[in-house]
């Protein structure tokens, strides 16, 4: 799996929003902003790795239908 980059953050938030998962998109954006404010890059990267993996799994399930 590729390492998450800044482009992934917007993509994941966009995918969540388009899927109607607005609360999750908002929480993700707020968490990433808080990580940035506190300099907790490791936590932000860990969250994004999970979100990207979740999004990939969701896309795979959708394609196989």
Prediction pTM value: 0.66
pLDDT in tens, 41-56: 889 888 888 877 877 7
Per DSSP, the three-state class of 39 is coil
CB atoms closer than 10 angstroms to residue 47: 19
Within-domain flag for 34? yes
Residues of the chain with pLDDT under 70: 1-2, 4-6, 62, 64-65
pLDDT at 65: 65
Within-domain flag for 10? yes
Which domain does 58 fall in, by range?
6-63
Within-domain flag for 1? no
The structural domain count of the chain equals 1
Within-domain flag for 46? yes
DSSP 8-class letter at 3: P
- Contact predicate 9/49, CB 8 Å: no
């Amino acid at each position: 799996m590729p390492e998450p980059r800044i482009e992934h953050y917007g993509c994941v938030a966009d995918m969540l929003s388009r899927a109607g998962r607005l609360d999750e998109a908002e929480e993700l954006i707020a968490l990433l902003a808080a990580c940035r404010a506190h300099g907790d890059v490791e936590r932000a990267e860990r969250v994004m790795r999970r979100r990207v993996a979740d999004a990939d799994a969701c896309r795979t399930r959708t394609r196989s239908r």
